[in-house]
């Protein structure tokens, strides 16, 4: 399981992006349906999260985040 920082949240669209390890450049997409243990609307930019990755079926050259949850377990 990886960790990272939410850099963008689009509540109106139901998705966001995570910077793995807090480093920009390899940002990982996540959809609201990939969020567990918390409601999508409770996530905030700058929040540390843990997540797994899998190939994005819409863009096989990229990864997407799944099992996204607050890193502190809240």
Could you report the per-residue pLDDT of 13-29, keeping only the tens digit for each? 999 999 998 778 889 99
pLDDT beyond 90 at 72 = no
Query: Is residue 5 very low, low, confident or very high in pLDDT (cuts 50, 70, 90)?
Result: very high
User: 60 is written with which tokens?
Assistant: 């096989």
Domain boundaries defined on the chain: 2-70
The beta-strand segments (E) located in 1-74 are 2-10, 15-20, 28-31, 48-56, 59-70
Percentage of residues in the chain having pLDDT higher than 70: 97
Query: Is residue 73 very low, low, confident or very high in pLDDT (cuts 50, 70, 90)?
Result: low
Q: Is the dihedral of CA 19, 65, 58, 16 positive or negative?
A: negative
Contact between 49 and 16 (Cβ < 8 Å): no
At 58 the three-state DSSP class reads coil
Domain 2-70 maps to which CATH number in 2.20.25.240, 3.40.50.720, 2.40.50.140, 1.20.1300.10? 2.40.50.140
Tell me the β-bridge partners of 69.
50
């Amino acid at each position: 399981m990886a960790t990272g920082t939410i850099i963008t949240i689009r509540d109106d669209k139901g998705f966001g992006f995570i910077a793995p390890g807090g480093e920009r450049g390899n940002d990982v997409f996540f959809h609201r349906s990939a969020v567990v243990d918390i409601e999508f609307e409770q996530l905030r930019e700058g929040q540390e999260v843990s997540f797994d990755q899998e190939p994005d079926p819409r863009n096989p050259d990229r990864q997407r985040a799944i099992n996204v949850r607050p890193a502190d377990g809240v």
